[in-house]
Structure 1
Amino acid sequence: MSAELLERLRQLDACTVSDALDALGLLGAVTGIARRSGSGVVAGRVVTVALAEGPAPAGAPKVHLGARAIEAGDANSLIVVSHPGIDAGGWGGVLTQAARLVGIQGVIVDGPLRDMDEANGLDFPIFARATTVRTARGRVHEVATNVPVTIDAVIVTPGDYVISDGSGAVFITADNAEKVIRTGERIAAKERLMIEALKTGKPVSQVLGADYEDMLEAIQ
């Protein structure tokens, strides 16, 4: 079931899925996290990394942030990094190499990313709020892997579904995935019909007036 839903989700885009959430009265859309590398739409099941400001506590295991998430993920995973928001990289080049080698779909960082050119050279999809040259060492540390995190007021739980593209990221709880994706498919089908109507010469004012404005209400 998960594989089927992911395949269907990957046929959509983030804006359509956001519209589906609106139609269903659900939260999950996050803006301001821009594409920094890679291309196209990425979708997967969430593996989370929770970061906190400052160096790791004395005696804590010396494991690089993000490493556990890469080992916990697979080819259907998308890593989501909760970041305290200071100027320090929440993801970097060696992590990108490692994630790509195991087939991770992409990474979303709710904060700064570094080594962006390296990620672009690998065509690896990463989305982040900013870029930086500053290392995480001594500035941020990993608190936990695969725990619930909050991204822009959206609670994101390991195993949730996520889709991200150049417009932003959208999170879907596992319980809601089927109905959100189904609603998104209906919206996408409606939009395709609208485009076909435009191609036949129907005035855009009619297509976007009569159809578009009421689309979300009618799609439920």
Structure 2
Amino acid sequence: MTEDKLVKQLSNLDSCAISDALDALNVNGVATGMRQITVQKKIVGRVVTVKLVPKTQEQTSNRHLGTAAIEAASNGDVIVVEHFSDKVAGWGGNLAIAASLKGISGVIIDGACRDVDEMKSIDFPVYARSSVPTTARGRLIEQSFNEKINIEGIDVFPNDLVLADASGIVFLPCSKAEMIIEEAKKIMEKEERMATAIRSGLPVSSVMGQNYETMLQKKLNN
């Protein structure tokens, strides 16, 4: 299997450095409404998308939501779900078991999930808006997978990159990922030098002065 160099580089960063890089490059990619629901684990990978919608009486589906995405995903991928509701679960325990066995890094769902204790027991990371016991059966249907979705106003495409940690979630468009990662590396290195200076005894006001306030000036029009 060919190593994904961008995913490897991204795994050495955090959501804050990527968020700062997105600011500097004027790219929309920060999602703030979801949190770690199951285990406190950072996830990084290529995106596989799922879109859920309310089921109507006329609609039928030949598969359960999320199953096609799991089977299509590669080791290390992250499943990202556009979901309309935080009151009906769009992800659950059996899906998590299958995803874990496939080597999927984790799931991000813009809505609710369920079976949280079960997913904790297998150490599977899920980021979501909420957890509820209410089943998707008869309430939701999968409209598409591996097509464009929208998460908090961010257009997310298959093969984009995503990083999620305790601070939040950041999406990197595939076409700009290398540029964003390089910018984030520079920002993180500068932050590390500043931390070293503060630990050495320099006044924090001099370390975090005017240069710090202007370090994220826009560099690129979106």
State the TM-score, normalized to the length of structure 2.
0.93
Partner in structure 2 of residue 29 of structure 1: 30
Q: Report the 3-state secondary structure (helix = DSSP H, G, I; strand = E; otherwise coil) of the residue aligned with 1:127.
A: strand
**Greater Cα offset, 102-111 or 161-170:** 161-170
Counterpart for residue 72 of structure 2: 72
CA distance in 2 between partners of 1:216 and 1:86 (Å): 34
Matches within 5 A, 1:136-155: 136-155=136-155
Contact 2:26–2:219 under 8 Å retained in 1: no
Indicate if the aligned counterparts of 1:19 and 1:216 stay in contact, CA closer than 8 A.
yes
Shift in Å, 1:60: 3.2
Deviates more, 1:113-122 or 1:101-110: 113-122
Count of equivalent residues: 219
CA distance, structure 2, for counterparts of residue 125 and residue 178 of structure 1: 25
Distance 2:133 2:103 in 1: 26
The residue number in structure 1 matching 2:132 is 132
Q: What are the within-5 Å matches in structure 2 for residues 196-211 of structure 1?
A: 196-211=196-211
Cα drift, residue 219 of structure 1? 8.9
* Corresponding letter in the other structure for 2:151: I
Q: Does the aligned pair in 2 maintain the 1:56–1:141 contact within 8 Å?
A: no
Residue number in structure 1 paired with 2:19: 18
Q: C-alpha displacement at 1:86, in angstroms?
A: 4.9
Superposed displacement of residue 214, structure 1: 2.2
- The one-letter code of the counterpart of 1:34 is R
Report if aligned partners of 1:161, 1:171 keep a CA contact under 8 Å in 2: yes
- In 2: Cα distance, 1:45 partner to 1:98 partner: 18
* AA of the residue aligned to 1:201: G
SS where residue 215 of structure 1 aligns? coil
Change (3 A) 1:132 1:90: same
Shift of 1:59: 4.8
Q: After TM superposition, which residue ranges in structure 1, 4 or more long, deviate above 6 angstroms?
A: none
Match of 1:97 in 2: 97
CA contact (8 A) 1:109 1:128 kept: yes
- Residues 118-137 of structure 1: CA distance to partner in whole angstroms, max 9, x if unpaired? 11111111100111000001
Distance of 1:41 and 1:89 partners within structure 2: 22
The offset of 1:141, in angstroms, is 1.0
Contact 1:46 1:79 in 2 (8 A): yes
CA contact (8 A) 2:25 2:218 kept: no
Deviations 1:165-206 (A, max 9, x none): 112111111100000000000000000000000111011111
Cα deviation, 1:15-70, whole Å, max 9, x if unaligned, reads 11011000001111110110112233211110001000125745531x11000010
Within a 5 Å distance, the mapping from 1:128-207 to structure 2 comes to 128-207=128-207
CA contact (8 A) 2:45 2:161 kept: yes
Preserved contact between residue 147 and residue 157 of structure 1 (Cα < 8 Å): yes
Q: Percent identical across equivalent pairs?
A: 42
TM-score norm. by structure 1 comes to 0.94
2:129 and 2:135 map into 1 onto residues whose CA distance is 16
Name structure 2 gaps, 5 residues minimum. Answer: none
Deviation at 1:87, TM superposition (A): 1.4
Tell me what 1:39 maps to: 40
Amino acid at match of 2:44: A
* 1:75–1:105 CA contact under 8 A, matched in 2: yes
Quickly say closer, same or farther: Cα 1:171–1:87, change in 2 above 3 A: same
> For residues 86 and 196 of structure 1, do their structure 2 counterparts lie closer, same or farther at Cα, with a shift above 3 Å needed?
closer
Go from structure 1 to structure 2 and tell me whether the alpha carbon gap of 1:64 and 1:5 turns closer, same or farther (over 3 Å shift). Answer: same
Unaligned segments of structure 1, at least 5 residues: none
2:4 aligned partner: 3
In the TM superposition, residue 151 of structure 1 has moved relative to its aligned partner by 0.5
